[in-house]
């Protein structure tokens, strides 16, 4: 019976991620990300997904407790992703 050769484990290359920059100020959260400019339809989807995630977060409970559900919904509609530049 022939002996099997042990194969060494392949080393995975670390994924090279492009640099990202984000910061917070009075106007809100800002981020600079690489890639193509998203279409208006894509931005609408991003906004809706972000709002859904926000509704599932502990922050949503705090907003409802502090302002009531109706006012929290109005505030949530003001949250949007904008593309500049």
Buried b (16+ CB within 10 A) or exposed e, 3-29: eeeeeeeeeeeeeeeeeeeeeeeeeee
Written as six digits, the tokens of 61 are 């409970």
Q: Give the pTM.
A: 0.59
Is pLDDT of 85 > 80?
no
Rama region for 35: left / alpha / beta (φ>0; ψ in -120 to 50; rest) = left
- At residue 72, the pLDDT reads 95
Domain definitions of the chain by residue range = 37-85
Residue-wise pLDDT for 12-63, tens only, equals 666 665 566 788 888 877 787 778 888 889 989 989 998 999 999 999 999 9
């Amino acid at each position: 019976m022939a002996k099997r050769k042990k194969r060494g484990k392949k080393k995975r290359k670390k994924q090279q991620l492009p640099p990202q920059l984000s910061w917070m100020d009075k106007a809100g959260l800002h981020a600079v990300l690489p890639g193509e400019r998203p279409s208006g339809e894509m931005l609408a989807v991003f906004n809706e997904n972000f709002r859904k995630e926000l509704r599932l977060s502990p922050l949503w409970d705090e907003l409802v407790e502090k302002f009531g559900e109706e006012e929290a919904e109005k505030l949530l509609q003001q949250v949007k992703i904008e593309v500049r530049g």
